[in-house]
């Protein structure tokens, strides 16, 4: 008697459980579409970099989960560490999604520094696992919090975890689908701009001031490169404007040609600089680089810090133009800005290595004297390539100060110039324009806004300089020096679903329910009698 009464009670509970479970699925089911930006993917010569995967069909999991195999690992900027990244790789996770704040200036300094270090180490490794960076929004933050809470519940007992996962937990399915394979892009062009302020006389020595304008980071579509190297471009454009005033009058025109160049491909072994030097020295019949070059001043990452480093390939000889200019640089710093540390860093060019560390090394390989001025001592610093290198990383007072130091040193080398002509509003405007769009090399000749930026830089050159030329370098498609790949931004669908364990639970409930119904039908007379007696006893 008792077992059969329990059987009837379990039948009612199963029916209620199935109804509630089905109802919860129907009300909780939802989808959300957003755009994700794939990690760098390129070949530089024979070296392969970045992630080779794009397709994702997996359930979202927090990086705190112990098991990540075939799961999409979702983490914030503050969560990313090299250890967690390698652990996801070791467990063969299906994908990694990194949520990027809309306002990176709100991130604590230690979080920014930690992320940049991990980002630089991640970029050194090639991976088959798709890695995406996604700008945060309310829907994605909600998803992140839920998978984070699910990971936190792992501290409860096994029975509670299984029951919660099977009945109450909700999951998120991430889908990045594409109908075409990832294809190489070998028709990228590199644009280099050059302009000249001719000095007073003929056969004059030439001072070359140069900076590369492209940016680099974990995801090309999110790389704005404010400090590296929007700062170098900004100072170069201001120098062009200031010295144009002096070169426009015969009485104040010095006996030096001043040549300015903005080069592309700086983040990829300074490929644009290499092509431009080759065109001027090997293919052009007449070029200022053919003649007497006093020195080349390369500007790289100058928007922060109270330290300045002069990177040279060989110590300058006494009484050489480079030696004289560096003396003026030291005098300006010591007299005007004594709190600024100025140091020379000597690093020989390693001919065995396939890459160069600084732009001046490209000139050094052709025996053209030059050096790079930067607030970074280490050429491998993570600050030279990060998606967190935004306007929030720029200290405009230090950017202006560094520009003044360079301008006054050049002026002392040629003649006197006051620092009052540096305009704060123009510095801010130039930096805003440069960081308004990502300047990744693979985008600059493909996307309308990026192409407009290059045209704007050319316009600035033509506004203040003479003999302005735009050099467009196309790669040999049969043997390209650098190969990029497509599908760098992808539409992503996120589905809110019950976990796979719930299907098993629901299937078991339905099977048990049908079994009980079948038993009741087969024994209808007996069940009816028992129910009738139960009702009578209740009313008695």
Is the pLDDT at 72 greater than 70? The verdict is yes
247 and 116 share one domain: no
Q: What is the per-residue pLDDT for 179? A: 76
Per the domain annotation, does 509 fall within a domain? no
| Pair 168, 227 in one domain | no
User: Do 234 and 152 share a structural domain?
Assistant: no
- Is the pLDDT reported for residue 452 higher than 60? yes
What number is the average pLDDT over the span 67-92? 94
Rounded CA gap, 409 and 255, in Å?
16
Kindly state the tokens that stand for 228: 């590296």
Give the model's pLDDT for residue 224. Answer: 95
Domain range holding 104?
30-183+488-499
pTM: 0.86
Question: Looking at the domain assignment, is residue 296 inside a domain?
Answer: yes
Q: Quick check: helix, strand or coil at residue 313?
A: coil
Q: In what order do the strands lie in the sheet with 41-44?
A: 126-127, 47-51, 41-44, 482-485, 184-185
Q: What tokens does 461 get?
A: 């050159």
Mean pLDDT (the chain) is 86
**Tokens of residue 429, six digits:** 């405007």
**Higher-scoring residue by pLDDT: 463, 31:** 463
Q: How many domains, in total, are found in the chain? A: 2
Residue ranges of the alpha helices (H) in 343-495?
360-364, 396-414, 424-434, 448-464
Q: What angle do CA 133, 130, 181 make, to 5 degrees?
A: 115
Count Cα atoms within 13 angstroms, Cβ side, for 83: 3
Contact yes or no for 326/310 (Cβ under 8 A): yes
Distance CA 421, CA 518 (A): 93
Q: What is the DSSP string of 361-373?
A: HHHHTTT--EEEE
Q: Are residues 262 and 307 in the same domain?
A: yes
Using an 8 Å Cβ cutoff, are 278 and 364 in contact? no
Residues 249 and 393 in one domain: yes
Q: Are residues 163 and 277 in the same domain?
A: no
Q: What is the CATH number of the domain that holds 329?
A: 3.40.630.10
Most confident of 152-161, 368-377, 423-432: 368-377
The two tokens of residue 45 are: 């010569």
Regarding whether 308 and 400 lie in a shared domain, the answer is: yes
Lowest mean pLDDT among 68-77, 316-325, 364-373, 522-531: 522-531
C-alpha–C-alpha distance, residues 326 and 303, integer Å: 20
Do 239 and 407 meet the contact criterion of CB atoms below 8 Å apart?
yes
Q: What's the full length of the chain, in residues?
A: 540
Give yes or no: residues 117 and 194 share one domain.
no
Q: How far is CA 538 from CA 8, 70, 190, 226, in A?
A: 16, 56, 90, 81
The answer on pLDDT for 284 being more than 80 is no
| DSSP 8-state class, residue 388 | T
Up-side HSE of residue 528: CA atoms within 13 Å toward CB? Answer: 5
Q: Please tell me whether residues 274 and 406 are part of one structural domain.
A: yes
Query: Do 460 and 172 contact (CB within 8 A), yes or no?
Result: no
In which band, very low, low, confident or very high, does the pLDDT at 69 lie, cut at 50, 70 and 90? Answer: very high
Of 169-173, 215-219, 375-379, minimum mean pLDDT range = 169-173
Whether 21 is covered by a domain: the verdict is no
Q: What is the mean pLDDT of residues 143-172?
A: 67
């Amino acid at each position: 008697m008792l077992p059969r009464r329990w059987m009837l009670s379990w039948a009612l509970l199963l029916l209620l459980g199935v109804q509630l479970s089905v109802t919860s699925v129907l009300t909780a089911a939802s989808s959300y579409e957003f755009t994700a930006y794939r990690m760098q993917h390129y070949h530089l010569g024979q070296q392969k970099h970045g992630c080779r995967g794009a397709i994702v069909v997996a359930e979202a999991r927090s990086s705190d989960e112990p098991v990540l195999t075939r799961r999409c690992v979702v983490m914030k900027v503050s969560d990313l560490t090299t250890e967690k990244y390698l652990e996801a790789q070791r467990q063969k996770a299906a994908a990694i999604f990194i949520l990027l704040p809309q306002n990176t200036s709100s991130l604590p300094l230690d979080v920014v520094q930690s992320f940049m270090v991990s980002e630089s180490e991640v970029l050194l490794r090639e991976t088959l696992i798709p890695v995406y960076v996604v700008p945060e929004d309310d829907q994605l933050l909600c998803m992140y919090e839920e998978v984070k809470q699910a990971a936190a519940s792992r501290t409860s007992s096994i029975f509670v975890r299984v029951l919660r996962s099977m009945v109450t937990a909700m999951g998120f399915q991430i889908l990045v689908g594409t109908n075409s394979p990832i294809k190489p892009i070998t028709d990228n062009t590199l644009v280099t701009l050059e302009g000249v302020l001719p000095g007073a006389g003929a056969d004059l020595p030439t001072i070359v001031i140069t900076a590369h304008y492209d940016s680099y980071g974990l995801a090309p579509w999110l790389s704005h490169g404010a400090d590296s190297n929007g700062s170098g471009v900004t100072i170069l454009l201001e120098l062009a404007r200031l010295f144009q005033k002096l070169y426009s009058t015969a009485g104040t025109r010095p006996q030096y040609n001043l040549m300015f160049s903005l080069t592309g491909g700086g983040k990829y072994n300074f490929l644009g600089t290499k092509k431009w030097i080759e065109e001027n020295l090997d293919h052009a019949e007449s070029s200022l680089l053919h003649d007497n070059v006093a020195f080349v001043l390369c500007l790289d990452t100058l928007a922060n810090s109270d330290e300045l480093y002069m990177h040279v390939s060989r110590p300058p000889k006494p009484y050489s133009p480079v030696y004289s200019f560096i003396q003026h640089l030291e005098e300006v710093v010591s007299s005007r800005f004594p709190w600024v540390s100025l140091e020379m860093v000597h690093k020989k060019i390693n001919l065995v290595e396939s890459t160069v560390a600084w732009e001046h090394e490209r000139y050094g390989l052709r025996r053209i004297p030059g050096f790079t001025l930067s607030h970074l001592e280490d050429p491998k610093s993570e600050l030279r390539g990060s998606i967190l290198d935004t306007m929030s990383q720029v200290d405009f007072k230090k950017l202006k100060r560094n520009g003044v130091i360079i301008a006054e040193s050049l002026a002392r080398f040629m003649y006197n110039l006051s620092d009052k002509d540096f305009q704060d509003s123009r510095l801010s405007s130039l930096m805003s324009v440069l960081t308004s769009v990502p300047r990744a090399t693979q985008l600059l000749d493909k996307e309308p806004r990026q192409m407009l930026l290059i045209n704007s830089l050319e316009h600035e050159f033509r506004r203040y300089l003479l003999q302005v030329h735009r050099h467009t370098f196309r790669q040999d498609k049969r043997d390209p020096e650098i190969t990029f790949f497509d599908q760098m931004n992808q539409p992503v669908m996120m589905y809110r679903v019950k976990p796979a364990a719930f299907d098993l639970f629901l299937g078991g409930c339905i099977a048990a329910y049908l079994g009980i119904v079948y038993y009741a039908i087969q024994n209808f007379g007996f069940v009816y009698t028992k129910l009738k007696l139960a009702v009578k006893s209740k009313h008695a």
